[in-house]
Chains A and B, each alone.
Chain A
Amino acid sequence: MNRRSFLTAGVAAGLASPALAAGEAPACAPTRGTGDLGLVIERASGSVLIVDTTTRGVVSRIEGLGDLSHATAVFGPSERYAYVFGRDGGLTKVDMLACRIDKRVVQAGNAIGGAISDDGALIVASNYTPGGIKVFDADDLSELASVPAVGLGGKQSKTVGLVDLPGRRFAYALYDANEIWIADFSAGMTPVLTKFHDVGKLPYDANVTSDARHFIAGLFGEDGFAHIDLWADKLKVERVSSGYNAGREKLPIYKMPHLEGWAQSGGSLVVPAAGQHEALILDLDTMKEQGRIALHSQPVFCVARPDGREVWINFAHPANDTVQVLDIPTRKIVHTFKPGPAVLHLEFTPRGHEVWISVRDADRIDIYDVRTRAKKAEIKAAKPSGIFFTARAHRLGV
């Protein structure tokens, strides 16, 4: 199908269901802005969809990105290029306007996400095998640095929870070594490393608040979080909310909770509790637990609506057909609904008027009006997982 006939077909089909059959790869219109574009991971087929949040449609499907289970993406500051981090160590630079792969490298055996420096120049990948981080030139993906993650015990560790901090710095946790490191590349490609030891057992993920002040790692091996106040003169790690499972059974966890997209709202932070049907509310001023919200099941993502008023939550297998909406002022669940089997991710449009939800086992993205809760459109997608809109380019702690 040529470009003209695709566009015509898109108009003819209307905005609600511009479905794209597998294997079709229409050319896209390069003269346009990218602020309302996004990228949807099709985890099983190694492909991504470029999507348009204005038309609620698919612009193009791009194939050949390798194993995209648990894939994530970041965007360069122009919002033209996406950097997709695959499970198989693949790092793919996608041109969102030309709808093609601009560059691709396989940088590790087994990887878990990445980040981009505040100046947009450095792409950093977090790796399981071999553990550590690697730094790449955002332009041509040439390797600029490799920082092994060897903790005090002398063993290579998986790295998790990598985030970018202002000043060409990156923070991440060493899962097997119970450490948190901050790598500072402001003076060159040999980083200044600040290491925190004994932060708590098995840090499994981490994130930073949108003001780049609070770095928090979730701990799997104990009930709590490791927190660093990055605005402090002297950085130190403190435990937060230790013992939230105390006196009750820690339930089996069939999908690890994620801190990505965590819900920062006013002076509070809503985070998933590991092993409970609960979200925890932390006070960002005191870093004390303010409350616990009983939920449908074990939360995976607690994502704040962009204005912070609500937090939308999805759940772990086998209760992953449901989404709940938590109202922050009243701290009550105000809406519960079932988009379909295996809700893996949700992403709000930049100003929060709509939310896109990936329903993996229905091979579908559902788009809801956030205020009326009504479904506005469905998009066909093959086993969709992560949804990433370009507005992430200009936000910290996403």
Chain B
Amino acid sequence: MTLRLDIAVALAVIAATASAIAADRGNELTALVREDCGSCHGMTLKGGLGAPLTPDDLAGKDAASLASIILDGVPGTPMPPWRGLLSEADARWIAEALKRGLPQ
């Protein structure tokens, strides 16, 4: 119950500070990042074939440029452009969630 409340609070904070993403969509994006981005970046986001994406690793990067990497990929590497599957608001939400630490 407490955990659920914490998540709700966290989502409320995120909604207030960043793009407006519904709680359900936030849960979907969290699952997407862990499960599908996780196939290269690791489920715990400590890296794999792709770079680690923990808050420490992303400390020097701003959310806007991370969001544009998510949307447009990194040419010459396996990082694909997610535009088409994710909206700009989705990408921004993921970028900020990664910098803050993705909810469990």
Contacts A88-B46, A252-B73: A69 and B78 contacting too (C-beta < 8 A)?
Answer: no
Main secondary structure of the interface of A (DSSP, over half): loop
> B48 and A70: CB pair below 8 A?
yes
**Chain A nearest CB, measured from B38 CB (Å):** 5
A-facing mask of B19-45, CB < 8 A → 1, else 0?
000000000000000111011101110
B80 at the interface (CB under 8 A from A): yes
Contacts A44-B43, A87-B42, A252-B81: A317 and B36 contacting too (C-beta < 8 A)?
Answer: yes
Main secondary structure of the interface of B (DSSP, over half): loop
A338 at the interface (CB under 8 A from B): no
A-facing mask of B67-100, CB < 8 A → 1, else 0?
0000001001010111011000000000000000
User: A44 to B30, alpha carbons, bound, how many Å?
Assistant: 13
> A255 and B39: CB pair below 8 A?
yes
> What is the size category of the interface that chain A forms with chain B?
20 to 34
**Chain B nearest CB, measured from A104 CB (Å):** 18
> A129 and B47: CB pair below 8 A?
yes
Contacts A70-B48, A317-B36: A252 and B80 contacting too (C-beta < 8 A)?
Answer: yes
Interface residues of A (CB under 8 A from B): 43-44, 67, 69-70, 87-88, 109-110, 112, 128-129, 158, 160, 175, 202, 204, 220-221, 252-256, 317-318, 342, 360-361, 383
Name 20 extra pairs, CB < 8 A, besides A87-B42, A112-B49, A342-B35.
A44-B43, A67-B43, A67-B46, A69-B42, A70-B39, A70-B48, A87-B44, A87-B46, A87-B48, A110-B42, A128-B47, A158-B49, A160-B49, A204-B49, A253-B80, A254-B36, A254-B80, A255-B36, A256-B39, A383-B35
Q: Ordered nearest first, which 5 A-B pairs have the shortest CB separation?
A: A252-B80, A69-B43, A317-B36, A255-B39, A252-B81
Interface residues of B (CB under 8 A from A): 34-36, 38-40, 42-44, 46-49, 73, 76, 78, 80-82, 84-85
